[in-house]
A = this chain, B = another copy of it.
Amino acid sequence: MKMRRVVNLSLDELPKRWYNILADIGPDFPPPKDPPTGFSRLANLPKILLAECLKQEMSNERWIDIPEELQQLYLQASRPRPLFRAYNLEKRLDTPARLYYKGEFFSPTGSHKVNTALAQCYYAKKEGYKRVTTETGAGQWGTALAYGAALTGLKCTIYWVRAVYNWKEDRKNFMQLLGGEAFASPSNRTKFGRSLYQKNKNNPGSLGIAITEGVEDAQNDPNAIYCLGSVLNHVLMHQTIIGLETQKQFEMFDDYPDIMISCLGGGSNFGGFVLPFVGEVLTKGKKIKFLAAQSKAAPNLAGEYKYDFADYGELTPLLKMYTLGHKTLMKPIKGDGLRYHGCSPIISYLRHKKLIDRVAYPIDEKYVFQKARMFIETEGYLPAPESAYSICAAIDQALECKKTGQKKTIAFNISGHGFMDIPGYRSVLKLK
């Protein structure tokens, strides 16, 4: 039989609906709630979230239509993206397992984040806003939102954790080239930011502080709305386009995954990749092992399942999730996008129901990056540091199959490319 290294859908076969797993999880799913004291975060949500996104956040409809204009934007952003059979890697590993990887690295900004950035910008435009605001840590979400804003004709303001802003000069310039404006946070542009900035102009900032600035900025400008890039139900739902494509692509390969793997920080790429398959496990009796690859710097799935804030500044409602605690400090790693204290409520719930497995890799990242290097040498694509965790877990599973002789089908998502992250590889692998 002819060796098939890759399949893709035609542009016409782009999924036309997102999958909302809340329809199949049922009424047990714990809703967000208010803390016992202080103002009502729930009542405040309509001021923070886009009306359409808030509606989606609470929806129990199984399928939600992707507006036609947004489908066009997805095509512009290089969707559908291919699914590859990793023959070369299999050969190198000498494993009986079949390995498949999804190419989210074809994203124009470098990560899967554009899938929800385009959706949120599309709705923002439709709801009459002129500007979107947000925070960013590693920078991928900020770049994606700047991209979404560029394609829909919106302005974009990004509050960027100062400690990262200061050294990711290339990514900052990329945001600017897309027409976005990025500010080191805490900044002197918001009341909350100023209160910290004026005490210490070198305050390194945090994601929580940056969220507060993004929200405050939008709330003070009737033409602006805040956007969030992970954790929430509607964000994961926008990302299901990844898994929906992957389902059709597995049909083209005439195969079906036994194991599905992706890296997990807040959970948006992991959720986007696996949720349509989790739906088949819940409703069609399929059996799949779902494995989240994490860093020991932020092993939130090993934390406690409880109500916690999504942000340091306690502006969000309480969400029921596996969490390390919203004020926990985490060590810096190159896969910075995985460094978040809590896991999205949907994935946390599925973990609670014993549907999601987890693995956490050492903080020095050598083990992870060495595995990623095997992938680069054999398959030729350069993954983002975060995606290196997906690859590492997939290789470990494939080597396990080698030991046991099991011919399992292993699917992993490569959520982004690493062209702008080579200094991270250099530092961890001691390249010269």
Contact = CB atoms under 8 A, between A and B. Distances in A.
Contact of A108 (B7, B11, B381): B381
Given A380-B147, A431-B176, A170 B108 contact: no
A351 to B, nearest CB: 33
B177 A376 contact: yes
Contacts of A429: 177
Interface in A389-432: 417, 419-420, 422-423, 425-426, 429, 431
Contacts of A84: 76
Contacts of A106: 78, 106
A174 B381 contact: no
Interface in A358-401: 373, 376-382
A84 B110 CA distance: 19
Contacts of A425: 173, 177
Nearest to A177: B376
A8 interface: yes
Interface string A168-196: 01100110111100000000000000000
Contacts of A422: 169-170, 173-174, 177, 420
Which of A151, A169, A176, A429 has the most chain B CB atoms closer than 10 A to its own CB?
A: A176
Given A173-B425, A425-B173, A380 B76 contact: yes
Given A173-B426, A174-B382, A75 B377 contact: no
A77 B379 CA distance: 9
A178 B11 contact: no
Interface in A73-117: 75-78, 82, 84, 88, 103, 106, 108-110
A5 interface: yes
A40 interface: no
A426 B377 contact: no
A72 B85 CA distance: 12
A82 B150 CA distance: 21
B431 A76 contact: no
Interface string A142-179: 00000100110000000000000000011001101111
A103 B106 CA distance: 11
A419 B417 CA distance: 10
Interface string A1-43: 0010111101100000000000000000000000000000000
A108 B380 contact: yes
Contacts of A75: 5-6
A150 B426 contact: no
B178 A380 contact: yes
Given A151-B88, A417-B419, A377 B72 contact: no
A423 B173 CA distance: 9
Nearest to A376: B177
A5 B68 CA distance: 12
25 contacts: A3-B72, A6-B11, A6-B75, A6-B76, A7-B11, A8-B10, A8-B11, A10-B10, A76-B379, A108-B380, A108-B381, A108-B382, A147-B380, A150-B378, A169-B422, A170-B422, A173-B422, A173-B425, A174-B382, A176-B431, A177-B431, A419-B419, A419-B420, A420-B420, A420-B422
